[in-house]
Structure 1
Amino acid sequence: MKHSIAKLTLVGALIAPSVSFAASVGGVTWNEASGFDLTMNGTIWETEANNVGDVVTFFGTVSNVNGTTTFVAPGAELSYFGTFTLSNAGNFDGDVNGEAIFNLASMTFYYDATADFDASNSATANDGNIWLTLTGHDYDAYGLGPTGLGAIYAELNGASISSLGDTGGGYGAWDVLGGQAALFFDTNTVSTINGVSVGANNADFTFSDSFQPSGVPGLLTGTGELKGKTGSVPEPGSLLLLSVGLLGMGLRKSYR
């Protein structure tokens, strides 16, 4: 009987966490059973690029994960910092506005137990513990061949990136590279973006943002969204099967 009680206690411990489907790593908690899983939204600041070869620095904070704002402890923050390089610019889709293509993209998320982000100081975006690192997933969104490969694409509200290119929107693809949360999101579930294949290998995340002048010379601001899928949290069914198996073992022992 003692063995059975012990097994039942273990079963309860295994089943209980599966009810909320909460995933937690490195100070960040989210509901992987959410219909939004996985969606991160936040503010974004980025430097301008006017010529091929210019490196854009972008940074900001995550404001919600899967639609909730309680993904970190009170007083903590999840920020990010990254760069990408302007590789091509022109009119690639035949409309009146221009486009820009960026490659050599990288982005890192940081968990900071003390929220100190200040948009006027980009160093406050990367002063925490590395939570997740992404690298750009290059693909050919416009069918241009090798010269059109990029991880981030910008749709401008002007004819060129140097005219009214300070307003517009962007999109792109990312792959997981490392960090504490890497095993949760290295899922390779993104095969297309806007109906265009991302290539022979799937990506892990899609990215979209809007941008406009921030009021500070050379700095743009807007909102961004990163979408992927949680893939490494045990399914409730697996936990239940394991629990039933352990319970059966316990009951069989008690009858012997």
Structure 2
Amino acid sequence: MLSAPCVQLRDIDVLFGALPALRDVSLDLHAGTVTVVAGPNGAGKSTLLEVVAGTRAPARGSRSALGSVAFVPQRAGVSDLLPITVRDVVAVGTWGRLGPWRRTDATARAAVDEALRRLEVADLARRPYVALSGGQRQRALLAQGVAARADLLLLDEPTTGLDAASGARIRAVMAEEAARGAAVVCVSHDPAVLEAADRVVTLVDGEVAGDTGASGPRVVAPAPRKPAR
């Protein structure tokens, strides 16, 4: 039996100018589960992730959430001139508890060490982040999210362009975070990620067209389109 939802979206519409990006989206997201948001390019997947994170306000509808959030983008823009190490990047994940200008304590250092180890980037900790390969950068970013020990872990295309071993490690960490009690929500086209999910929510033209989860497949017929508000 699922726990009470940690995130509830009700009747969400998002507009980009006059163009609808999401239409009448309602979702409950639960702790201890991995939910994958799938669908074609331009379907509104990343926009939905931003609404879940609380970083994008809808034009209509409501969002309620409990607990802390860690949002891991597909890539982070870091200037080649910025002297930041992999460990520095991962340590940002602890700022939500400490604040960016407070001294790192033993608990935060332990969280960073564990995240580096679990994403298999501990040997790269002192290396400049900008010197990493794409796959190494993605694992470092996920390590940042893991170090936060958040209640809600959001990932945008975490395995895109990665080798099989890196993809498998990221899928394993997603499952581990759900087992810890986090609600993991991931945008992905990766068949291996979809296969490993507890639930797959499919968006088409900004609407929920399918929702397959532990309770069995449920296909949702898109509602009649409403005029842009």
TM-score w.r.t. the length of structure 2 is 0.28
Greater share of strand: 1
Greater share of helix: 2
TM-score w.r.t. the length of structure 1 is 0.26
